[in-house]
């Protein structure tokens, strides 16, 4: 099943469960999901509604679909985590790669990623700042690597990514491959497993990106 068929199938399931949404093909023959996203709190109480358009990407579900807020509430400005063409900056690109490598569906994408994005937008509308925020664009991607590898040394991060790409996973009681002297299980085990799960071309893309900032 190709990416368009997967998107249409999952969108049809979402529409059946959420009557305010409709799936149709645009003029380029690409399926889109449009409707009103209802945000509710932990008790199921209505919080707000955003008009949205969700567009299939060429390699969905190996990448997130593109999300557009169509009600004119969010400025088309990177300071609001919106790219110049209008689609939402949902998360850092390497984080998206990792999430998609584990498998996403329309339902998990909307519930786990798109809805929190709009909750964050609502928080900024109400309070003037985002509840959780990384820097914009490439700097936000770099911060993701900093957080995962627990260092700001990009050359060091690139070396660890090379190790992950080319070596077998260490034994849990061995010293970590980073050279810290800590046991692997207590140091970079999560980072190793996150990035080792990526297809090789995606992992190479991460390495090239980090190297470009060294």
Contact 69, 52 (CB under 8 A): yes
- Helices 200-212, 93-102: inter-axial angle, 10-degree rounding: 170
Number of structural domains the chain divides into: 2
Are residues 57 and 86 located together in one domain of the fold? Answer: yes
Largest CA distance in the chain: 58
Confidence of residue 35 (pLDDT cuts 50, 70, 90): very high
The boundaries of the domain holding residue 177 are 137-212
Tokens of 167: 């070596």
Q: What is the pLDDT of residues 85-141, one digit of tens each?
A: 999 999 999 999 999 999 999 999 999 999 999 999 999 999 998 887 777 778 889
Domain boundary pick from 103, 127, 151? 127
Are residues 101 and 193 located together in one domain of the fold? Answer: no
Res 78: pLDDT: 86
* pTM for the predicted model, two decimal places: 0.89
Are residues 15 and 110 located together in one domain of the fold? Answer: yes
Domain boundary pick from 106, 127, 148? 127
Are residues 102 and 20 located together in one domain of the fold? Answer: yes
Q: How many Å apart are CA 184 and CA 186, to the nearest integer?
A: 5
Residue 121 lies in a domain: yes
Q: Supply the DSSP symbol for 113.
A: I
Are residues 57 and 13 located together in one domain of the fold? Answer: yes
Are residues 105 and 152 located together in one domain of the fold? Answer: no
Q: Give the H/E segment covering residue 53.
A: strand 46-55
Q: What is the pLDDT of residues 160-186, one digit of tens each?
A: 999 999 999 999 899 999 999 999 999
Chain centre distance of CA 17: 24
């Amino acid at each position: 099943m190709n990416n368009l068929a997967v998107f249409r199938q999952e969108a049809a399931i979402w529409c059946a469960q959420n009557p305010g949404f409709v799936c149709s093909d645009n003029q380029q023959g690409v399926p889109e999901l449009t409707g009103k996203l209802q945000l509710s709190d932990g008790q199921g109480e209505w919080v707000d509604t955003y008009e949205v358009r969700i567009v299939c990407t060429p390699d969905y579900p190996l990448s997130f679909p593109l999300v557009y807020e169509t009600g004119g509430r969010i400025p088309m400005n990177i300071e609001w985590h919106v790219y110049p063409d209008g689609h939402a900056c949902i998360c850092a690109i390497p984080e998206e790669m990792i999430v998609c490598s584990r498998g996403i569906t329309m339902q998990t994408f909307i519930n786990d990623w798109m809805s929190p994005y709009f909750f964050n937008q609502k928080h900024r509308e109400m309070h003037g700042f985002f509840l959780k925020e990384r820097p914009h664009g490439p700097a936000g991607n770099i911060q993701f690597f900093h957080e995962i590898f627990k260092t700001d040394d990009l050359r060091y991060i690139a070396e660890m990514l090379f190790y992950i790409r080319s070596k077998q996973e260490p034994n849990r009681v061995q010293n970590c491959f980073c050279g810290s002297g800590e046991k692997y299980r207590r140091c970079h085990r999560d980072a190793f497993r996150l990035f080792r799960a990526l297809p090789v071309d995606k992992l190479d893309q991460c390495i090239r990106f980090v190297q470009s900032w060294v």
